Structure 1
Amino acid sequence: MGKVLTVEKALNNNVVIAKDHVLDEVVLIGKGIGFNRKKGDTISLNDAEKTFILSDKKEIEQYQTLIRHQDPELIEFLNDIIFYIESRMDQPLNEHIHVALTDHLSFAIKRAGGNIQFSNPFLFEIESLYAKEFQVAHEIVDKIDDKLDIQFPEGEIGFIALHIHSAITDRQIRDLNKHHELIALMVELIEENLSVTIDKGDVNYNRLLQHLHRAIDRVDQANILGKERNLKNVLKMTYPTCYNLSWKLVKVMQKQLNKSVDESEVLYLTIHLQRLTNKM
């Protein structure tokens, strides 16, 4: 029979919130699983086709509100999409995606129906930095088009990819956006200081994005690269322009992230910038 839970609330015919003393509150999904169910009824985990746990009370409330105001068929379709993401990424997703992406997609579907256009300023960067997430997001947009005959603007692929990346790294969307803004600011500084315009389609731009992204991640997670005192002196003497620009970039990072940046980042940035100027 499987583990028996107690029904807390049937959100619609296909979604039930139940609980027990070990699992806390569990969302159970299955055709007709919520029909005629009321608080206090018992329910077997085996009755559900899919399950996920929402341990955050605020997210449980958000999810309940969300489902109350959406068409049950749409919720069922969006749940299928989230489980599709999990299978494509081949790793568990943070539970918050069930609230965040369901909310985002249901609103995006309404917005697309109203023909409201918008752009995603970091679309190219998102595609470069999160290639697999971007590919899966593309597949999701195609699924929505097939099912609902709704064409999303291209920028929407980027937003969905961000939600996927957020769910596999357990990082907030606002932090990811903050990092993209910081990368854009640093690229602007590089172009200005080296008097160059970097072609976004160029492989070197992609490498620069990857390097800046990893550097920001290291600073955020307090990972320190090895000390290279001899290298510091050589780089300072040989490539003064790139070395001084690296310090500028590191100061911008420190200010935006509100964290100290290890000096070794300056050295690796200097090497990368020098390589970039040689290629250009």
Structure 2
Amino acid sequence: MSFRTKKVFNNNVVLVDYDGKEKILFGKGIGFGKKHGDKIDAKDNIEKIFTLDNDENSKNFENLINYTDSNVIGMCEEAIYMIQQELDEELDEKIHISLTDHIAFTLKRLQSNEEIQNPFLVETETLYNKEFKIATKVARFIEKTMGIEIPDGEIGFITLHIHTARNSGKLSNTIKYAFLSNTVIEYIEDNLDIYVDRQSLDYARFITHIRFSIERILEGTTVKNDLIEVIKDTFKESFKLAESIGKILEDEIDKTVDENEISYLAMHIERLKNTNS
């Protein structure tokens, strides 16, 4: 098997043509000294071959190449390879466009001293801790390569791109979990006049519960709670608050939240109430 070079992004990343399909090759030194049209053999230290099978993704990647610095694209492809190695799984091919475009735009903003605040940073780190740790490594790699400090807020955005690429490009749900979790916590704080420490174990437990609760509601699955009547009677205030939160969730995701979910939510609210009052 051999490939024809279309574009060299850096010494380690090359765009090639193989049988009419574009492929991105990663391997230490495979791009060194290569020019358009040069042949690269399969035995030439190729560590990873990325293929853009979707025609729209291939077209969007071509457009990205036209307005993005080659070194930035090469760096992002190395970062994507790093992400796949860390996760030991294949990612949705859209990440080659979405993450690269995001990082390229981020670098331009940071060079102009423009930083976008990330309102869901803590929620993102808590919900997607594994992806957040990998995103942190990616940020450090970008800093080392480009000599630009990457703020924590940007690590949160990179985390969302990684999580989305693991879940067939469903970014809307990823952002929705973070948004709804933040909304629910603030609603509880306002109604109980408490402050929930975003670094606490209670917060992590609650956010994780909300995440999986939303997934169950969206999928129409139910986890039965045999203690509903006991919870209603024992934790009256928390149950009433849980019912209000259930309405918020229903409005946002257009699905019915049953009493089983409400009662489990009430139990978590009661724990937050007792540990943060």
Name the SS for the 1:27 alignment partner.
Answer: strand
CA deviation string 1:23-49 (max 9, x = no partner): xx44132526973439xxx98665655
- More displaced, 43-52 or 232-241? 43-52
Alignment match, 1:16: 16
Please report how far the alpha carbon of residue 150 of structure 1 lies from its aligned counterpart in structure 2 after TM superposition: 0.7
Residues 49, 34 of structure 1: CA spacing in aligned structure 2 closer, same or farther, 3 A cutoff? farther
Alignment match, 1:164: 162
Percent identity over paired residues: 31
Alignment match, 1:96: 94
Please report how far the alpha carbon of residue 201 of structure 1 lies from its aligned counterpart in structure 2 after TM superposition: 2.8
CA distance in 2, matches of 1:163, 1:50: 20
Aligned residues: 267
CA distance in 1, matches of 2:247, 2:17: 48
Alignment match, 1:143: 141
Alignment match, 1:76: 74
Alignment match, 1:233: 229
Structure-to-structure mapping, 1:191-270, within 5 angstroms = 191-226=189-224, 228=225, 230-270=226-266
Name the SS for the 2:151 alignment partner.
Answer: coil
Aligned partner of 1:85: which letter? I
CA distance in 2, matches of 1:269, 1:105: 37
CA deviation string 1:128-158 (max 9, x = no partner): 1212211111111111111111112221111
Alignment match, 1:27: 23
Alignment match, 1:127: 125
Aligned partner of 1:119: which letter? Q
Normalised by the length of structure 2, the TM-score is 0.86
Please report how far the alpha carbon of residue 178 of structure 1 lies from its aligned counterpart in structure 2 after TM superposition: 2.1
Q: Are the equivalent residues in 2 in contact too, given 1:141–1:152 (CA < 8 A)?
A: yes
Out of 171, 178, 182, the position equivalent to 2:176 is 178
Residues 263, 114 of structure 1: CA spacing in aligned structure 2 closer, same or farther, 3 A cutoff? same
Aligned partner of 1:274: which letter? E
Aligned partner of 1:219: which letter? I
Name the SS for the 1:180 alignment partner.
Answer: helix
Please report how far the alpha carbon of residue 10 of structure 1 lies from its aligned counterpart in structure 2 after TM superposition: 2.5
CA distance in 1, matches of 2:213, 2:228: 17
- More displaced, 10-19 or 214-223? 10-19
CA distance in 2, matches of 1:279, 1:213: 21
CA distance in 1, matches of 2:112, 2:172: 26
Normalised by the length of structure 1, the TM-score is 0.85
Q: Are the equivalent residues in 1 in contact too, given 2:8–2:31 (CA < 8 A)?
A: no
Structure 1: tracts of 5 or more residues without a match:
none
